[in-house]
Amino acid sequence: MKFTPLRLEGAYQVDLDRLGDSRGFFARLFCREEFGRLGLSEAWSQCNVSHSAEMGTLRGMHFQRPPNADAKLVKCMQGAVFDVIIDLRRGSTTYGHWTSVTLTAEGGEMIYIPAGFAHGFQTLTPQAELLYFHSDHYSPEHEGGLHYGDADVGIAWPLEITNLSERDKNLPPLKKVEPIL
């Protein structure tokens, strides 16, 4: 695996080393030793899948508060998404800043998201599917989110938003969200 630091400290794009031949390829998605060398989560508590049928669907910006704040490893298994993270760590020099990675099934890239970040994505294709590894279990009482269109954050979504949950429409702006960690 190749780990490329993103502009928000602790976040990485993870590219697979594909070993291929005429049959296809083999690639490792996770290696405790490789993640450990960078001080990244070495254990996953939960693995989830997210499927979005419609291009332009937006999901996010979601996070978990302590004691269930979790790191994530996200991979696109079908289609393509514009994946976004926002730093919500108290005292971070990049607090409130965002960055993005385009994840595609064909490219195989992944994003490592440290605990203390909000996460969301917009589908760039119909029938987009994401695989999520979480370092802690989901806890509804520790769930949080912030508004995807907050002007203070300024995320430049690439497409018109065609599908959005009522919950995500009504999330608060960054200035009303307490920092995490």
- pLDDT, tens digit, for every residue of 105-119? 999 999 999 999 999
Sign of CA dihedral 34, 38, 39, 45: negative
Backbone angles phi, psi at 97, to 5 degrees: -85, 155
Domains of the chain in sequence order: 2-19+26-176 (2.60.120.10)
From the list 95, 97, 132, 142, the catalytic residue is 132
- Written as six digits, the tokens of 15 are 């590219």
High-pLDDT (> 70) share of the chain, %: 100
- pLDDT, tens digit, for every residue of 74-130? 999 999 999 999 999 999 999 999 999 999 999 999 999 999 999 999 999 999 999
Asked about 132 being catalytic, the answer comes back as yes
SS3 category, 34: helix
From the list 12, 62, 112, 138, the catalytic residue is 62
- pLDDT, tens digit, for every residue of 16-33? 999 999 999 899 999 999
User: Residue 89 and residue 97: Cα distance in Å, rounded?
Assistant: 10
pTM: 0.94
